[in-house]
Amino acid sequence: MEKVIFEKLQTYVFDKDNPWVNIWADGSARLNKLPYFSSWAVYGENDLDNKEVIEDDVISSLNGNIVFVALNFSSPLKSWGPWKNIHGNNNVRWLLGGEDKNFNAEKSNKYKGAYITDLIKNIIGPVAGKVMKELEIENINKNIGWFFEEIDLLGSDCIEMYLFGNSVRDLFMDHVKKHKGYSRFRKKIKMCQHIYHYSGSNNGRFRKYAPEQLGLINLTAPERIKILDLD
């Protein structure tokens, strides 16, 4: 990734005039800076987790052509540095960190440095079903608009996008495709695929099938590859 693109991501603020106090456990009104809401599949000594200053060689390893999308924060943030969201999840690290020797090395390299984010930024909750019931159409469209802005900042017109779980998939099919900014977003996405969610309650299926869905191990059931029709 070019440094100028990373710097735009590093400084971007959602809904600049309306800090979302509900995302912080102490109720503080901090700016909704993009790095609080996303991370990268970079692990080990070059980890971006919680770093304010990122070295140029790490920035160059980031890959805005691969994007993973989850739903939302599960709980208010107590202490949260930049580029930390989802990054510490053991299942995601196992899938994307390139450390499992059973995975195809070439394919593992493909996902290194991938961008990871949430679709819904301003609603907190650990149960996807309850979050989905809280979502009103106006807020859904606001969040999709912010998501489109975020994807624009990546500076790529050739994105492979992977959706964690059924809720994100359903929002894509029912709302993202109907959003007024969709035509511009669609031009940037060359492929969009649903994969299993990484949550603890889904741990068994995720560990068994997510590597197949990403081509990291041999595929045993082609029906698990769910490519979304974005047109």
Residue with structure tokens 């029906």?
Answer: 223
**Contacts of residue 124, Cβ cutoff 8 Å, sequence gap at least 6:** 22, 23, 72, 73, 74, 75, 76
Query: Under a CB-based contact definition with an 8 Å cutoff, are residues 195 and 163 in contact?
Result: yes
pLDDT tens column, 208-226? 999 999 999 998 888 889 9
Q: Tell me what pLDDT residue 42 has.
A: 92
Query: Under a CB-based contact definition with an 8 Å cutoff, are residues 194 and 169 in contact?
Result: yes
Q: Tell me what pLDDT residue 173 has.
A: 96
**DSSP helix/strand/coil, 74:** coil
Q: Tell me what pLDDT residue 225 has.
A: 92
**Contacts of residue 93, Cβ cutoff 8 Å, sequence gap at least 6:** 43, 87, 99
Q: Tell me what pLDDT residue 22 has.
A: 86
**2-8: which pairs have CB atoms within 8 A and are 24 or more residues apart?**
2/155, 3/56, 3/59, 3/60, 5/64, 5/153, 5/154, 5/155, 6/54, 6/59, 6/62, 8/153
Query: Under a CB-based contact definition with an 8 Å cutoff, are residues 85 and 116 in contact?
Result: yes
Q: Tell me what pLDDT residue 217 has.
A: 95
Q: How much is the average pLDDT of 179-208?
A: 94
pLDDT tens column, 110-164? 999 999 999 999 999 989 989 999 899 999 999 999 999 999 999 999 999 999 9
Q: Name the DSSP class of 151.
A: H
Q: What proportion of the chain, given as a percentage, has pLDDT over 90?
A: 74
CA 198 to chain centre: 12
201 vs 213, more confident: 213
Query: Under a CB-based contact definition with an 8 Å cutoff, are residues 42 and 113 in contact?
Result: yes
The dihedral over CA atoms of 211, 213, 215, 221, expressed in degrees to the nearest 10, equals 100
Angle value at C-alpha 199, between 82 and 100, nearest 5 degrees: 80
